[in-house]
Structure 1
Amino acid sequence: MIFLRGDESEQRRAEKLTRITDVLAERVDRLEEARGSAWSMFQAAIALEQEVQARTRELEQALADLSERNRELAITRAAAEEANRSKTRFLRAASHDLLQPLSAAKLFLSALRDTQLDPFQSELTQRLSGAFESVEELMHAVLDIARLDSQRIEFQRKPVELAQLFSRLGVEYAPMAEAKGLKLSFAPTSAVVESDPVFLRRIAQNLVSNAIKYTDRGGVLVGVRRRGDRAWLDVLDTGVGIAPEDRSRIFDEFQRIGREGGAPGMGLGLSIVRRACAKLGHAIALDSEPGRGTAFRISLPLLTPGVVPARTDAALPGPSLRGRVALVVENDDAMRLAYQFLLGDRLGMVARVSGGTAEALAMMGDEPPDVVIADYNLDNDDTGLQAIRALREAAGQPVPAIMVSARRDAEIGRASLELGVPMLEKPIRAEELQSVLQRILA
């Protein structure tokens, strides 16, 4: 019996050792699993770090590439802006040389029309005048586009009386409308708006000119509608109209619509209108029906009643110019001769012509002229502004003067305004020069 109990004891001890062994084996297995998981995590962390480093290097390279591209774009943009400024400077410089003979030719034609001509000669002078007008219109259009594309353009915003603008447009475009048998009408208005007077006039000129060109029957009406704090400048015609598919492209350069052999021109007028309105912040509206006409509308800031600009260019009755002395400062031989024909033969004035400031001072002597007419661009860095200042200083009095320039430069306009001198743009018209002379000598 004692032997049997010993066997049972050994058996129980063996079973206990087996269970302990199993537990230890299980713990070892768990430790191995934990060690494997930690190793996997360690390896994953190393892989992630390597991935982060790789992505960081790629991002740094991308940023370096982007910085280089931005630098290249900045250089390209600066070069483009400089090219644009160079183009504008070239056009301004070239315009003076191109408009100089054109201005002289128009003055010669004006003097020629005052002579006795037979019907054939009259027709030739009329056709020549029309050709010069077309050249002038094209040159001004190209210059306007160059100025509006310039990043440094300066606008002179001031009150503009639309009645005064309408009066000038009527005088300018009535002959063109009459030649086509059209009625050109301007609705009376007392509206005063804020805009650049030079470019607002160019906008209105292009719209009225376009309306007449594309109208064969009926007429053109120009008016103003007030809507709250806005005044809408309306130009309505009874012309060919504009199809819906053409309404976007008509504002592009060199785009013309209508029938074959229709309106003359280069298709730049509406491009100038779009550019000028965009720069000035004037909205454009278009309403048209093919075969029944078109209405262009320009939105302008309306000023309060009582704000009336000074009438600097109104045609006022003036005294007779006969016998009055005009001292001309002009470096171009053809222009000097043209002035002598216009001032002396047509207006009966005494014309004394000089080529620069020094010659004008010597010619004036002790007796100041009644008026000075000076071209801005003279030889050897001399300018008409310097000539006017020197002549006034030598005379001891503010002699009336007129500045003439082929350059549409805001600085020249401001300097002329400071001197109290009106400025005429080349090519000058004989009637316009006569009107200004009568006004300033009144």
Structure 2
Amino acid sequence: MKKHSDTDQNEYGIGDLLGLGRQSVRKNYYPALQQRIDELEQERNRYKWLFENALHGIFQANLRGGFLACNPAMARICGYDSAEQLRKSIIRLREQLFFSASEFDVLRQELLDRGSLNARETRFRRSDQAPVHVAITMLRRPDLGPEVVETFVADISERVHGRQRLEQLNAELEHRVSERTEALQNANVDLRYQIEEREKIEQELVVAIEAAEEANRSKDKYLAAASHDLLQPLNAARLMVSALQEGSLPEKESRMIQQAHRALEGAEELLADLLDISKLDQQAMKPDLIHTDINELVRDLGEEFSAVASNADLEFRVRSTPALVFTDQRMLARIIRNLLSNAFRYTQQGGVLLAVRVRDESVRLEVWDTGVGIAPDKLKDIFAEFHQVLPKGAGGRQGAGLGLAIVERMVGVLGCRIDVASKLGQGSRFTLTLPRASAPRFEKVLSPAVPLALREGFGGALVLVIDNEPAVLESMQMLLERWGCEVMLALSRDQALAELERTGKRPQAILADYHLDYEQTGFDAIHRVRKYLGEDVPGAIITADRTDEVRTLLRAQYLPVLNKPVKPNRLRALLTSLVTS
């Protein structure tokens, strides 16, 4: 694009070339041509204006030489004051415009081969010899010369600097990531070491826990075995003492027998408490939930503790009302029994009250006493093992301190709540709260009436007793005979069958120990006797085994169970139900 001057007298216009140099001639003879010339002039002026005012650099040059034409934007890019100064300063593009001659050679060869370049990035040399980053689009113009090109130039210095800054930031980030990665790797190494140490400690803990559990199992087995072995002679002694109490003895001997009875009773309670504490701590005692009639349960407990109140010369009142709860009847009875035992143990004068209060959604069983009371700062301690509520010198029989510990654990198993309120020297109140239950209505089955003859004695009823302890058999025989029973004794299942065959008698009830010799059981013995006799003779199991497995098994076989040591009043009630059935 060669720049023209309107006032240059050495150059000719388009009208001069056509022979229309004089204005009069153009106007008179060629009005249409003059209009077209004016349009071309306007178009030329517009392109000239765009060329002069373009934001991007534009130049026409010979690759073997310098600029043919350039615009002001190109001058600004290269750091020159005017396009004319730039054109005169740059004689050879290769050495003076391009910052790198090798870059120029590559671009030139590609341009000669392809004819054009599009947005190619390179560097120009500014007037201060500093590089400037540009993007060029070049087009060969072979019509103007073999290496004449027209070029559009965009200054991309900010973009390149931004890209370089970004690359620098990326490099710094990669360095920081590398440092962080190395730190994390070191931390991971430390963490793996800590994990390994922790796993080692956990393995040691597992071994220790297993050892502790094995020790607990061994302790439980030992405790169960020792308790069973202790309960057997204790049961024989209790039965023997009960048999002696049934007879008439001199006052001194009767008092001694009564003291022996209390000592045996204390030993029995201690063994039972130790077994229950062990099972509760091992979570081996599972609740057997059934619908329980609170009124009937409270009535039975009232009858049981009436004799205790009479012997202690205390007033005992029971206030009950019909209510139904869904709970473990045996554990609930044990809780109330322990609370009543404590109330009587720590009450010297006055009395004890067992009350049932029914609310819309709950049932409250309350045990009140007028005993020694509990100091406010001791209320949280009374449920601890071996804690004595009764202070020294207060009188009364000291317990082992396990009753309330058992109560608290059983309350937790049943999911109910217990509260205590007390005033030192005035008495205490324990409140057990259970959710009230509802059940379908059913007709109550009346228990068979006890024959008049059995109210005083059993009228010669034949009872078969099977136990592998001779002392127990002797004690049972003595007690049952005092109640008016005829007793048939057997040390094993086979001996019982042999005795029945020898005598030809048919017992009215069977009382059998659960664990017999040679891994035989009382359940099997009762079954074989019934099979031999061809009739369902009423039977019950008497055992020192208090495990849930045995209790569940016997319940499934509809066999009543009495735990050793046997209390005479419970044995008598059980025997009465067996004989009358």
Which residue among 376, 380, 388 is the counterpart of 2:518?
380
Tell me if 1:100 matches 2:237. no
Moved over 6 A (4+): 33-39, 308-312
- The residue aligned with 1:4 is none
Please give the secondary structure, in 1, of the residue aligned with 2:575: helix
User: TM-score, with normalisation over the residues of structure 2?
Assistant: 0.67
Query: More relative contact order in 1 or in 2 (CA 8 Å, sep 6+)?
Result: 1
- The residue aligned with 1:5 is none
Say whether the 8 Å CA contact 1:159–1:309 is kept in structure 2. Answer: no
- The residue aligned with 1:407 is 545
Mapped partners of 2:330, 2:336: distance in 1: 10
Mapped partners of 1:227, 1:58: distance in 2: 62
Q: Give 2:488's aligned amino acid.
A: R
| Deviation sequence 1:122-141 (CA, Å, 0-9, x none) | 11111111111111111111
User: TM-score, with normalisation over the residues of structure 1?
Assistant: 0.87
- The residue aligned with 2:496 is 360
Percentage identity across paired residues of the two chains? 33
402 and 36 in structure 1: CA distance in 2 versus 1, 3 angstrom threshold: closer
- The residue aligned with 1:317 is 450
Please give the secondary structure, in 2, of the residue aligned with 1:57: helix
Say whether the 8 Å CA contact 2:320–2:357 is kept in structure 1. Answer: no
Mapped partners of 1:153, 1:374: distance in 2: 25
Which residue among 525, 533, 543 is the counterpart of 1:395?
533
Q: Give 2:450's aligned amino acid.
A: P
Please give the secondary structure, in 1, of the residue aligned with 2:317: strand
Shift of residue 396 of structure 1?
Answer: 1.0
- The residue aligned with 2:477 is 340
Please give the secondary structure, in 2, of the residue aligned with 1:251: coil
Q: Give 1:177's aligned amino acid.
A: A
More helix by share: 1
Q: Give 2:437's aligned amino acid.
A: L
Say whether the 8 Å CA contact 2:286–2:413 is kept in structure 1. Answer: no
Shift of residue 238 of structure 1?
Answer: 1.8
Shift of residue 433 of structure 1?
Answer: 1.5
Q: Which runs of 5+ in 2 are unaligned?
A: 1-84, 90-125, 133-156
- The residue aligned with 1:143 is 275
Say whether the 8 Å CA contact 2:321–2:357 is kept in structure 1. Answer: no
Shift of residue 316 of structure 1?
Answer: 6.1
Which residue among 407, 417, 428 is the counterpart of 2:555?
417
- The residue aligned with 1:276 is 410
| Deviation sequence 1:8-27 (CA, Å, 0-9, x none) | x9xxx9xxxxx9457469x9
Which residue among 219, 231, 246 is the counterpart of 1:114?
246
Q: Give 1:257's aligned amino acid.
A: V
- The residue aligned with 2:347 is 215
RMSD value, Cα = 3.0
Say whether the 8 Å CA contact 2:386–2:402 is kept in structure 1. Answer: yes
Say whether the 8 Å CA contact 1:316–1:439 is kept in structure 2. Answer: no
Which range moved further: 274-283 or 429-438? 429-438
Tell me if 1:228 matches 2:365. no
Mapped partners of 1:102, 1:55: distance in 2: 66
Mapped partners of 2:497, 2:557: distance in 1: 18
Say whether the 8 Å CA contact 1:145–1:272 is kept in structure 2. Answer: yes
Q: Give 1:426's aligned amino acid.
A: K
- The residue aligned with 1:3 is none
- The residue aligned with 1:16 is none
Tell me if 1:81 matches 2:213. yes
Say whether the 8 Å CA contact 2:461–2:508 is kept in structure 1. Answer: yes
Mapped partners of 2:300, 2:171: distance in 1: 93
Tell me if 1:291 matches 2:425. yes
Shift of residue 88 of structure 1?
Answer: 2.2
| Deviation sequence 1:61-83 (CA, Å, 0-9, x none) | 33333444444333433333333
Q: Give 1:246's aligned amino acid.
A: K
